[in-house]
Amino acid sequence: MNFQSIAPVEKTQRYLDVAFKRARERGTSKKLRGNWLEIIRKKDTLKVDIVKDSIVVRLEKMYNQYPKINDLPIFYIKLMKLTLSIDEFKRSLAAIKWAIGQIQKVHREHISKIIKCKTRPGAKAWINSFYGRVASILKQIESNFEILEENRKIMRKYPDIKDMFSICFYGFPNVGKTTLLNEIAGTKAKIAHYAFTTKSINSGYFTLDETKVQVLDVPGVLARDKMNDIEMQAKLVFDLVADMVVYVFDLSGTGYIVDDQIELYNQIKDKENVLVYINKQDITPKEVVESFDLKSETIDSIKEKAVALIKEKQRVEDERVAALEAEIDNDEDLFVEE
């Protein structure tokens, strides 16, 4: 899902101002026929209709643009649980749904009162009553608007992860994973100057031999027993998304201790398709790189191995489907009449 497309949530007063302005403009400009009482009733019910429609349509649009948690892939569900207060999020969406129903109910009640009204002051009183009730309903969910907007700002940083072959760059903070992403995928992911340089998940793509590959740069992880919420984002990608992992080392001596980086590598090396990449070689003594027990891939070799793995998986899948089709054909032959 593309979370970046979720529109900002405006203040409740903005909803009221827009609705009331439309009611004034359209409710007075439309030419109506009938006796004076019929015209008053029609104009007043039109204003009430315009206010109701304006607010309800905008609330429904807000409600529908947010993802329904149970419909999301498990990766996004777990990511939301890490970064949001899920209970508050659900309650706020439920509050929007409640407000829609309440406004529609109040609208029906006031339309009935206006239609039965026989005086202009009486009709005006019911219009004012309707406006007041609608304003009160929105006031009750004002805090929910604020919660949804806060959540939107968090969710807009979520990556738009596609259901396709994915490489995950994994390792300690500040080892150059984001730089590697920019080089391999031609992206321009932002690099900040503090220890945990990546606080969210960056994504990019490259194409080789007409094969497209998704590349994910995740927050840095330390070699410790308990991860924080930022590190857990990286673990989610590692566990649920990555088809190939490139573990990035920094041997330059400018960052984390190499032995600690090796300890983290040993924790994940048994996962299928884990490669090693030694970064910052331009500032690392050549003898340090050459004497390191693990040999580094290059950007080209990472791309080539990823594409080769994709093609091998496709070959195995093609063989499986062909065998299944042959089995079906054989079963059908058993029922051919002689």
pLDDT in tens, 266-299: 999 999 999 999 999 999 999 999 999 999 999 9
What's CA 30's distance to the chain center, in Å? Answer: 43
pLDDT band at 105 (very low <50, low <70, confident <90, very high): very high
pLDDT in tens, 159-179: 889 999 999 999 999 999 999
Which of 233, 265, 255 is CA-nearest to residue 155?
233
pLDDT in tens, 132-147: 999 999 999 999 999 9
Residue 88, token pair as written in the block: 């508050």
pLDDT in tens, 107-163: 999 999 988 887 888 888 998 999 999 999 999 999 999 999 999 999 998 988 999
Kindly list the structural domains of the chain, giving each domain's residue range(s) and its CATH number in brackets, ordered by start: 3-155 (1.20.120.1190), 166-315 (3.40.50.300)
Element (H, E) at 43: helix 36-65
Which one is predicted more confidently, 271 or 35?
271
pLDDT band at 194 (very low <50, low <70, confident <90, very high): very low
Quote the CA–CA distance of 281 and 288 in Å, as a whole number: 9
In this prediction, residue 334 carries a pLDDT of 56
The pLDDT of residue 330 is above 80: no
Q: Are strands 166-170 and 211-217 parallel, antiparallel or unpaired?
A: parallel
pTM value surpassing 0.85: no
Which of 234, 232, 229 is CA-nearest to residue 178?
234
278: helix, strand or coil: strand
In this prediction, residue 70 carries a pLDDT of 86
What's CA 313's distance to the chain center, in Å? Answer: 28
- Helix H, strand E, coil C: the string for 71-118 is HCCHHHHHHHHHHCCHHHHHHHHHHHHHHHHHHHHHHHHHHHHHHHCC
- Sheet holding 202-208: strands in order across? 202-208, 211-217, 166-170, 244-250, 274-279
The pLDDT of residue 104 is above 90: yes
